Amino acid sequence: MEMDESLNVFGEPLIACGMDPLTGFFRDGKCNTCAEDFGSHTVCIQVSRSFLEYSRFKGNDLSTPVPEHGFEGLKPGDRWCLCAQRWLEAYDSDMAPKVYLTSTHQKALEIVPIELLKKFAVDLN
């Protein structure tokens, strides 16, 4: 698997999203991606209780631990690389979580317009 260039939505070096729990398609703490990442795990989010409930309702339970995969489950406040399409779906349902733009991979922009991401950014000055 060849990783795409590690750049954020501003074309700058991608900043780590989360190390505890370890996130990312490559489990390197960054929202890096590649051709094999069909889900495009590229949007760095700030996990909220309402988003966890929404995700569970949509069939993706992110809060329940899965020890056999080394996954402790997410809790509010955690940072996580979310699939861009799932973020857009949550946005369309008024359930979109906050995002860290400096930690969101530029490939996310192929799915989510930058204007939408900026509305939910926690790291804009």
Q: Where are the domains of the chain?
A: 1-125
Residue 102: CB atoms within 10 Å:
18
Would you state the pLDDT for residue 124? Answer: 84
Would you state the pLDDT for residue 71? Answer: 84
Would you state the pLDDT for residue 69? Answer: 80
For the domain bounded by 1-125, which CATH number is listed? 3.30.56.110
Q: Where are the alpha helices (DSSP H) in 10-123?
A: 49-57, 84-92, 114-119
Up-side HSE of residue 93: CA atoms within 13 Å toward CB? 16
Contact status, residue 57 vs residue 90, Cβ threshold 8 Å: no
Note the pTM of the prediction, 2 decimals: 0.95
Q: pLDDT tens, position by position, for the chain (125 residues)? A: 899 999 999 999 999 999 988 999 999 999 999 999 999 999 999 999 999 999 999 999 999 999 888 889 999 999 999 999 999 999 999 999 999 999 999 999 999 999 999 999 999 86
β-bridge pairing 41-46 and 79-83: antiparallel
